[in-house]
Structure 1
Amino acid sequence: MTATDRPLRASDAPSAEPRSEGASLSPDDAFHVLRPFRRRETIRYLLDADDVVKMGDVADHVAAREHETSVADLTPTQRQRVYIPLYQSHLPKLDEAGVIEYDKPRGIVRSTDRLELFRPYLEAATTTLPKRASERAIVAEDGRFR
């Protein structure tokens, strides 16, 4: 069994203490972080997840939402097209913003105290920037974007 196949443990967390850099977040900073669909979906997933998650699980969730399908029905190409930008760009940016702790070599993501600051923005949203210029966002009855 490899490190990515075994269940996550608390000791897998990138650090023992979660960051709580800046208890507040300006609306401009929040909207900047939330602008890309993939970051919004990453934050949404992490708000509902346990403390430590595998990066691949985050990528699967985001890819399924982006392609409006289930994780089980994702193609390898759909997974890879989301996994790579998350791995190289979006997760490092969320880490730099203090929203998550991202252990890139181990593929582990841990929420920080700042993550919870995004919940009101995601819950209050009734519209969002489209995933692509040609698409319109649809908000389900539970307030989640489809």
Structure 2
Amino acid sequence: MTKKDGAGTERNASVGRAPPHLRLSRADYVFEALRERRRRVICRILQTTDDREIEDLAMDVATHESDDDERTVTNNEWELVFASLYHSHIPKLDDLEVVTYDDTTGIVNPGPRFEPVADVLSAVERVLTVGDDFLPRSDE
């Protein structure tokens, strides 16, 4: 919930501070959104679909992490991913307006600031896949 202070600056009413996107530089904003691997996976998934139920998104992320078929993801693995998405990653991305989350329906959608964040993620991944010599070899 936001409100304007005496100077007309929008403030986060729950903590009395400006919303995160007003406190960060553009680069910091994008890197904050993409800092955690699960947030990057969420952005990749939402690049291919307009909306996703959080339960299905948790299965998508768990499947990605297991490098396997969703049929092999255990209920415990799904629950751990779901909990981290529900309590940490989705709220963070929602605060940054990268996604919007409707708690009544459980639907996650790309938010008003999704495109620039997704574009940076795609650009970084494109640059890093150009050559296989970016990371040092384990035998060196």
TM above 0.5: yes
Q: Which has the larger radius of gyration?
A: 2
Q: Structure 2 regions of 5+ residues with no counterpart?
A: 1-20, 132-140
Runs of 4+ in structure 1 off by over 4 angstroms are 138-141
1:44 aligns with 2:44: yes
Count residues with an aligned counterpart.
108
Structure 1 residue aligned with 2:15:
none
- Structure 1 length-normalised TM: 0.65
1:124 aligns with 2:123: yes
Mean CA deviation greater in 73-82 or 113-122: 113-122
CA-CA distance at 1:140 after TM superposition: 9.8
Contact 1:47 1:115 in 2 (8 A): no
Structure 2 residue aligned with 1:114:
113
CA-CA distance at 1:39 after TM superposition: 0.5
- Residues in 2 aligned to 1:118 and 1:49: alpha-carbon distance in whole angstroms: 16
Query: Which AA in structure 2 matches 1:35?
Result: R
Structure 2 residue aligned with 1:72:
71
Between 1 and 2, higher relative CO (CA 8 Å, sep ≥ 6) is seen in: 1
Q: RMSD across aligned C-alpha pairs, in angstroms?
A: 2.6
SS in 2 for 1:69: coil
CA gap 1:34/1:68 in 2 versus in 1, 3 angstroms: same
Contact 1:56 1:83 in 2 (8 A): yes
CA-CA distance at 1:106 after TM superposition: 2.5
Structure 1 residue aligned with 2:8:
none
CA gap 1:117/1:79 in 2 versus in 1, 3 angstroms: same
Query: Which AA in structure 2 matches 1:93?
Result: K
Percent identical across equivalent pairs?
32
- Residues in 2 aligned to 1:27 and 1:108: alpha-carbon distance in whole angstroms: 28
CA-CA distance at 1:139 after TM superposition: 5.7
- Residues in 1 aligned to 2:93 and 2:56: alpha-carbon distance in whole angstroms: 16
Structure 2 residue aligned with 1:31:
31
**Which structure is higher in helix share?**
2
CA gap 1:108/1:117 in 2 versus in 1, 3 angstroms: same
- Residues in 1 aligned to 2:89 and 2:74: alpha-carbon distance in whole angstroms: 21
Query: Which AA in structure 1 matches 2:86?
Result: Y
CA-CA distance at 1:46 after TM superposition: 0.7
CA-CA distance at 1:113 after TM superposition: 3.0
- Residues in 2 aligned to 1:72 and 1:121: alpha-carbon distance in whole angstroms: 32
SS in 2 for 1:102: strand
- Structure 2 length-normalised TM: 0.67
- Residues in 2 aligned to 1:77 and 1:112: alpha-carbon distance in whole angstroms: 29
- Residues in 2 aligned to 1:87 and 1:38: alpha-carbon distance in whole angstroms: 12
